[in-house]
Amino acid sequence: MELGIGMFGDLQISANGEVQPAQQRLQEIIEEIKLMDDVGLDFYGIGEHHRPDYAVSSPEIILAAASTVTKNIKLSSAVSVLSSSDPVKLYQSFATIDLISNGRAELMAGRGSFIESFPLFGFNLQDYDELYEEKLELLLKINENAKISWKGKFRPELANQEVLPRAVNDHLKIWVAVGGTPESVERAGRLGLPVMFAIIGGQPIQFKPLFDYYKKVYEAYGHDMNKFEVGVHMHSLFGDNSKETADYYYPLYSAQMNRVGRSRGWPPYQPNQFDAGRSKSGALIIGDASESIDKILAMEETFGLTRFSAHMDVGGPSHAAMMKSIEIFGTQIAPKVREALKK
């Protein structure tokens, strides 16, 4: 099982509403990715957002910068909002990162958890499903064929066009991110694509039927089980002391849940939700190395994971807290998890 970190590029926002400059956060992110590589984590993913509380609107630029200061870590979007992107340009950007990084680039395609990119790039939300399906089809065709002819509804026709540059070995690894819909799971299984499940609330065990369904569909369509890959993305933060880590993180985490919740009609986030999430059966992995190891191993045992992604910057923890969390993940948690999985 690969172990890594996902981020959305959350900006730090003070209690009086002062927002961290994006320039500062972007420079911190590059330093954090370099540390992930230094401590031996397997991959890094960064999301795409177009909101004032996030610093990153172009994952490919962050990943290109990171590729020049790292040596081994895989570099991925998490996610690229495919519905409002041009698959041709997206492939070219990630193929370029793949060449710069000597084959370490991956692309994770998703619908995105917010809708700001639709009006920003001139797309209609009424076409939400059709946009994603058509663009995923085109992206996969480009990945398989350097020269393509293609016609769809939302993009100008391609007539025997060559899409360059090509990724290392003429193949870019493409993941898809899914939430909780059987339709998305079925599509991924049918296409034989690796899947990242976002488990950010409730009890992870509730997702087990979707994991089982994905594997069933994947097998039914005759895909090679030796290439079967599935991961989870879970809100995480690691510290030396479990209670101190939780006490530090709760105000930041709850503030971000409330910022998002106000636009979605959620009730205010409560301490009991946080405590339930941190419990043995909950979806938050926030605490010390020992309990985090146990919880990550439980996720692997439950779902048969090939990848675990700790989403580590929700609510904008300080750069110092992030660096500490990364160090603990790489030097204390990851070695113990890997050792346990060898047995």
Q: What is the pLDDT of residues 202-211, one digit of tens each?
A: 999 999 999 9
Residue 179 has pLDDT above 90, yes or no: no
Band (180; pLDDT cuts 50, 70, 90): confident
Q: What is the pLDDT of residue 88?
A: 98
- Looking at residue 104, its pLDDT comes to 98
Residue 48's pLDDT band, with cuts at 50, 70 and 90, is very high
- The pLDDT, as a whole number, for residue 231 is 98
pLDDT > 90? residue 343: no
- Residue ranges of domains in the chain: 2-342
In this model, does residue 226 exceed pLDDT 90?
yes
* 197 has pLDDT over 90: yes
Confidence of residue 272 (pLDDT cuts 50, 70, 90): very high
Q: Helix/strand/coil (H, E, C) string of the chain?
A: CEEEEEECCECCECCCCCECCHHHHHHHHHHHHHHHHHCCCCEEEECCCCCCCECCCCHHHHHHHHHCCCCCCEEEECCEEHHHCCHHHHHHHHHHHHHHCCCCEEEEEECCCCCCHHHHCCCCHHHHHHHHHHHHHHHHHHHHCCEEEECCCCCCCEEEEECCCCCHHHCCEEEEEECCCHHHHHHHHHHCCCEEEECCCCCHHHHHHHHHHHHHHHHHCCCCHHHCCEEEEEEEEECCCHHHHHHHHHHHHHHHHHHHHHHHCCCCCCHHHHHHHHCCCCCCEEECHHHHHHHHHHHHHHHCCCEEEEECCCCCCCHHHHHHHHHHHHHHHHHHHHHHHHC
CATH match for 2-342 among 3.40.50.170, 3.10.20.310, 3.20.20.30, 3.40.50.2300: 3.20.20.30
Q: For the residues 83-112, what does the mean pLDDT come to?
A: 97
Would the pTM of this model clear 0.95, i.e. be above it?
yes
Do 147 and 164 contact (CB within 8 A), yes or no?
no
